[in-house]
Amino acid sequence: MLENQLREAILASRFFESDVGRLFSDLATREITTITRDITSDKYRKDPIGYNNALSDLHAYQKMLRKMQVAANPKRRNLYRDWE
């Protein structure tokens, strides 16, 4: 279990150091910003279904980006190494 978590932390940190990881982070952040602007504007004033769909998308992007960031946190990697 700890070995798998350490492996996950190392892979996640390498992911964000790679070009692909930086691109993912940039695209996800831009999408979060766009959706946030849309739902805080008048765009969905008369479209509650569109609003709910956009809100669901926003939460999905936020959750995935946050999980990747937490997995890549150096403190997490060091914590698992200390347990070994």
pLDDT tens for each residue of 2-43: 677 777 877 888 888 899 999 999 999 999 999 999 999 999
CB 57 within 8 A of CB 35: yes
Neighbouring residues of 51: CB distance < 8 A, sequence distance ≥ 6: 39, 44
Task: Give the span between the Cα atoms of 12 and 15, in whole angstroms.
Answer: 5
Return the pLDDT at 2.
65
Kindly report, residue by residue over 26-37, the tens digit of the pLDDT: 999 999 999 999
Tens-digit pLDDT profile for residues 50-65: 999 999 999 999 999 9
Whole-angstrom distance, CA of residue 9 vs CA of residue 12? 5
The model's pTM is 0.77
